[in-house]
Structure 1
Amino acid sequence: MRVVGCGLRRQFEDAWKMRFYAMLVAVLATLQFLLAGRSAMHGLMIGGVFGILGHWRATWVSSARVQGNSVRADLVRRLETMGYCMTRGPGELTPDLPRWSRFDSQNVQLKTIDGAVDVSGPYYVLKRLARNVAVES
């Protein structure tokens, strides 16, 4: 199972996540402006930007393909042990969290195409699945 990142356009489809990042950058920039001249604020701004970039990379919407239809049930079981549940339909799993505390890009979609299962979701979830799935693509 090889995890491949989706394009930048796909990342911007989750408007709430992008607004959240923009708000964080705006708050950090405002604090930087209001408290100019304090060296601790420079460190906070730099650390905050790197934290946002790290989070964006970890939650980057990615995809992977696993050969074999029989793997689908195993993937669903593994996702359920990771805190996901089937709420929207047979092919989409969402984190078992209140709606206000999660983004749509955290959802995992499973699609069966030509004898293989296409999995798309956050990078960190797919990398964890790739470590646990014994079937190679």
Structure 2
Amino acid sequence: MQHDVLAHFAAEEEVMFPAFEAASGMSCGPTAVMRMEHAEARELLDDLAAATQVQDTDGVRGHAEALLILLQQHNMKEENILYPAAISAAGPIRGGAHGADRVEAGSQMSRLLDVQGLPPCESPSTVFSRLPTRAALRRERLRC
């Protein structure tokens, strides 16, 4: 789960965000917020892993809840702010305006904001359904 989330973040940060910033001219807009939230999520994932390692039930619960809330809010921002802005920024390239007639079909510029190839991040509910339950943590603790 952690690997998939981090791969999704990396793809956005290395491909989509730079392309969006180049097309829109905005480097301190939605992508800055997304990068900040990615950093927060990475910290929470590390905290969650550490709490799981030492079987800290309260820590696991707290970090999991915080991560769930952060990812839900993050996904809402992506869906309602970032993706519409990316589509809007790509419009002049794909819609025939602002020199799109000089962009060859299939060129790097024409694919600049195509996010369809990004690896999907699983829904937060799917991710959190895989976390150890309180009962499983108790059973594990009793084995020691």
Shared fold (TM-score greater than 0.5)? no
Q: Per residue, is there more strand in 1 or in 2?
A: 1
Q: Per residue, is there more helix in 1 or in 2?
A: 2
Q: TM-score, normalised by structure 1?
A: 0.32
Q: TM-score, normalised by structure 2?
A: 0.30
Structure whose alpha-carbon radius of gyration is higher: 2
